[in-house]
Amino acid sequence: MDQFLKIHSNHWREMLADVTIRAPIEACGLVAGQNNRSTKVYPLTNELQSPVRFQIAASEQIDAFMEIERNGWDLLAIYHSHPTGPDRPSETDLAEFAYPETLYLIWHFANQSWDCKAFRITENGDVEVPIQLING
């Protein structure tokens, strides 16, 4: 496993726009890539339309997974926002994680701005993984 997640600056901006537009509802989506480097962001529907929980629309998730597989990419991360929640995985996030090889990006709103942290979630809890923003 690489020691950090490399996210293209345009993908970072795409996720930032998504979480900003959807607030106060939790935004959610996927990040695909290769060699721990992002290649595409998939903003997806939160079926729960909740400010404190998310559930990715199953049909959209399947479509994204199929495109990821067709392109030979990996599912690098699942992102969602905590408009009023913590800057790390919540108890619900820890209890419901389903992809142990995938990072979880938590976008959180504090001090009038959004920030994002990456975590690897395991049965024993979570570990923060550094994010490196890249251009080109």
pLDDT of residue 102: 94
Residues catalogued as catalytic? 26
pTM of the model: 0.93
CA distance 24 to 126: 25
Convert the pLDDT of each residue in 1-14 to its tens digit.
457 899 999 999 99
Statement: 5-134 belongs to CATH 3.40.140.10:
yes
Q: Where are the beta strands (DSSP E) in the chain?
A: 5-8, 28-34, 37-44, 74-82, 103-110, 113-122, 125-129, 131-134
Q: Which sequence spans correspond to the domains of the chain?
A: 5-134
Convert the pLDDT of each residue in 42-83 to its tens digit.
999 999 999 999 999 999 999 999 999 999 999 999 999 999
Compare 90 and 97 and report the one with higher pLDDT: 90
Q: Pick left, alpha or beta for residue 99 (phi over 0 → left; psi -120 to 50 → alpha; otherwise beta).
A: beta
User: Does pLDDT of 109 surpass 80?
Assistant: yes
